[in-house]
Amino acid sequence: MELTFVDAIRQALIEEMRRDPAVFLMGEDIGVYGGAFKATAGLVDEFGPQRVIDTPLAESAIVGAAIGASYTGMRPVVEMQFMDFVACCFNQITNFAAKSHYRWNAPVPIVIRGPVGGGVHGGPFHSQNPEMYFVHTPGLKVVEPATPGDAFGLLLAAIRDNNPVLFLEHKFLYRRLKEDVAIDAPPIPLGRAKVARPGRDLSVITYGAMVQTALATADQLAARGIEVEVLDLRTLLPLDCDAIAATARKTSKVLILHEDTRTGGIAGEITAILQERCFDDLDGPILRLTSGDAPVPFSPPLEEAFLPSAQALANHIERLARF
C-alpha cells in the first residue's frame, strides 16, 4: 500500500485498534476534526467516540488519564497536537509513567505521539525537538522514524510495548514522503538502527527528517567520489550502540547530525560511546552538525540559518573526508 508518512501513522493506528480492543486514542480535536495534521481522520467513524476521545486542552490531564487507564489493562495512544506542549505533562511522564514498572511492577503501555521539528516556520512554540528531555529518563522509550515504512512498523511495536513510548513524528515529513508499506509485515523492533545508505569513506549518524537531508547530500557527494554511509538511529532510547560502533569501525570517520540544539544533544552521547568503544578505529575527529543553542526562530531566513543545512553538511563531510 502506497502511503505518505502521516497516512502510515494513521494506518498503524487503524491496524492496532482493529487487532486489540484495549487500544484507544485520546487527544485534542482528534475525533470529528481528525487531528491537527489529520493523522486520525475518519477513525471516529469506524471506532466511535468511546475509542477516539476528544479531550479538553489539558495535556497533563490527558497523560494522567492515559496512565490510569493503562493500569487497568488498556493501551492508550495519546496525541499531542504539537510535541512542544509535552512539557506541560513532564511530571506525569517522568515521575509516574517512567517509574511505575520499576517501583511496583506496574506496566504502563502508553504511547505519546505527535509532531516535532522545524522547517515549516512554526516559531518557537511549535517547532521544538524535545527528545533529549526524555532520553535522559530511565523507563521511557523514545522513537523518531524517518520513512513511512518505519513510521508504520515502529508505531505497531510502540503500541504493543509494555513501557511508555514517546513517538516523535517530524512534521516536515508528513506529506513529503510516500512509499509502498507492507501493512501485513511484523512490527519493527524498537532499539534497532538501520543502515539507510551503505558507504565506505565516512559515516553520518542521524535520525528523523535529517535522514533525508543526509541521504540527499550523500547522493550528491558520491559524484565527487565520496561514499557516505548513513545510519538511521530510529530509536533514541534505547540506543543501538552496536550499530553505532559497527558503522564507525567500517568507515573510521563519523559525523553526527541532528536537528535538536547542540548542547546536551544526542551527538554528545554518541561521541562518548564512540570514544569508549571505537577510539582505535577512528582516523579523524568525531564531528557534529546540529541546530544552534537558541529557540527556533519564526522568521523564515532566521530559521533557515538556525537549522542544519545540506550545504553545511556537505562542507562538514568534505572536511572530514580530508583526514
Residues 216 and 159 in one domain: no
Provide the CA 69 distance to its chain's centre, in angstroms.
25
Residues 210 and 118 in one domain: no
Query: How far is it, in rounded angstroms, from Cα 309 to Cα 122?
Result: 18
Query: How far is it, in rounded angstroms, from Cα 172 to Cα 117?
Result: 7
Q: Tell me the pTM.
A: 0.97
Q: Which of 126, 170, 258, 316 is catalytic?
A: 126
pLDDT at residue 231, rounded to an integer: 98
In the listed set 180, 205, 235, which residue is the last one of a domain according to the structure? 180
H or E segment to which residue 310 belongs:
helix 310-321
In the listed set 151, 180, 209, which residue is the last one of a domain according to the structure? 180
CATH number at residue 255: 3.40.50.920
Residues 173 and 240 in one domain: no
pLDDT at residue 263, rounded to an integer: 97
Residues 59 and 104 in one domain: yes
CATH number at residue 72: 3.40.50.970
Which residues, other chains included, contact 242 with Cβ-Cβ below 8 Å and sequence gap of 6+? none
Residues 31 and 173 in one domain: yes
- The cell for 322 is 580530508
Answer whether residue 27 is part of any domain.
yes
Residues 151 and 251 in one domain: no
Answer whether residue 188 is part of any domain.
no
Query: How far is it, in rounded angstroms, from Cα 258 to Cα 174?
Result: 18
Residues 70 and 204 in one domain: no
Which residues, other chains included, contact 166 with Cβ-Cβ below 8 Å and sequence gap of 6+? 86, 93, 111, 112, 113, 131, 134, 140, 141, 142, 143
Q: Give me the residue label for grid cell 509494555.
A: 162
Residues 85 and 52 in one domain: yes
Answer whether residue 187 is part of any domain.
no
Query: How far is it, in rounded angstroms, from Cα 263 to Cα 271?
Result: 13
pLDDT 10s per residue in the chain (323 long)? 999 999 999 999 999 999 999 999 999 999 999 999 999 999 999 999 999 999 999 999 999 999 999 999 999 999 999 999 999 999 999 999 999 999 999 999 999 999 999 999 999 999 999 999 999 999 999 999 999 999 999 999 999 999 999 999 999 999 999 999 999 999 999 999 999 999 999 999 999 999 999 999 999 999 999 999 999 999 999 999 999 999 999 999 999 999 999 999 999 999 999 999 999 999 999 999 999 999 999 999 999 999 999 999 999 999 999 99
Residues 249 and 146 in one domain: no
pLDDT at residue 160, rounded to an integer: 98
Residues 173 and 207 in one domain: no
Answer whether residue 274 is part of any domain.
yes
Answer whether residue 229 is part of any domain.
yes
pLDDT at residue 68, rounded to an integer: 97
pLDDT at residue 73, rounded to an integer: 96
In the listed set 150, 180, 210, which residue is the last one of a domain according to the structure? 180
Range of the domain at 8: 2-180
Contact 206, 244 (CB under 8 A): no
Residues 50 and 100 in one domain: yes
Q: Considering its fold, how many domains does the chain have in total?
A: 2
Contact 260, 288 (CB under 8 A): no
- The cell for 130 is 524535545
Answer whether residue 23 is part of any domain.
yes
Answer whether residue 189 is part of any domain.
no
**Angle, CA 269 vertex, CA 263 and CA 274 arms, to 5°:** 130
pLDDT at residue 150, rounded to an integer: 98
Residues 272 and 145 in one domain: no
DSSP letter assigned to residue 205: E
pLDDT at residue 67, rounded to an integer: 98
Q: Is 126 annotated as catalytic? A: yes
Answer whether residue 139 is part of any domain.
yes
